Structure formats: C-alpha cells, structure tokens
C-alpha cells in the first residue's frame, strides 16, 4: 500500500508532505480507513468524518501538528518513505 499524506498551504493549496509504502497492508480503502481510525483513536480524537474526496474532516483546533504525528504513526506501522521525481509541463517557463 502506498499512502500520500497531504497538507494545505497558503491560499488553500494542497501539497504532498510525505509518501510512504508498506508491503504489509493491502491497497483497499477499508485498510486506509482502519489506519486513520486507529491513529485518531490513539490521539483521542472521536469527532471526525471521511469525505468523498479522501479527506478526513476534523476540527481546526485539532489539526495543528496532526499531519506530522500521522506520519510518525505510519512509520511505526512499517511504512517507509518513498522517493519520487516531479515533472512539470508548463508554457510559462517555470
């Protein structure tokens, strides 16, 4: 299973913070939800909702530092960081 962990940057632009892979977990959505629920239970967060766009809706008060804690949780579950290469096509010379 490969998991891409994303955060929001300025101007509500999503960006990838970390990509991890584990051969011990299947690629099913149920597995992803089980991992998220286990993590949130560990953090004593009970008020959350899965959205259709693969986001987990949580109170803004609880979001601070949560992404980094989730990445550490995944590492403890055996996920390893995956290196990626970005390629951008643009007509703006960027």
Indicate whether 91 belongs to any domain.
Answer: no
Q: What is the pLDDT of residue 31?
A: 87
Full residue range of the structural domain in which residue 45 is found: 2-81
Q: Is residue 89 part of a domain?
A: no
Per the domain annotation, does 10 fall within a domain?
yes
Q: What is the pLDDT of residues 55-66, one digit of tens each?
A: 899 998 888 899
Domain-located, residue 36: yes
Q: Classify 9 as helix, strand or coil.
A: strand
**Total tally of structural domains belonging to the chain:** 1
* pLDDT tens-digit readout, 45-88: 999 999 888 889 999 888 889 999 999 999 999 999 999 888 87
pTM for this predicted structure: 0.82
| Residue 40 is assigned to a structural domain of this protein | yes
In sequence order, what are the beta bridge partners of 4? 19
Task: With H, G, I as helix, E, B as strand and everything else as coil, classify residue 49.
Answer: strand
Residue 86: φ, ψ to 5°: -100, 140
Q: Examine the pLDDT at 13 and tell me if it is beyond 70.
A: yes
């Amino acid at each position: 299973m490969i998991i891409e962990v994303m955060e929001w940057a300025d101007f509500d632009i999503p960006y990838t913070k970390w990509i991890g892979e584990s051969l011990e977990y299947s690629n099913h959505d149920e597995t992803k939800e089980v991992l998220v629920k286990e993590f949130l239970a560990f953090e004593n967060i009970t008020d959350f909702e899965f959205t259709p766009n693969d986001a987990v809706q949580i109170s803004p008060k609880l979001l601070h530092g949560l992404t980094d804690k989730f990445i550490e949780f995944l590492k403890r579950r055996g996920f390893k960081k995956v290196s990626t290469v970005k390629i951008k096509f643009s007509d703006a010379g960027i």
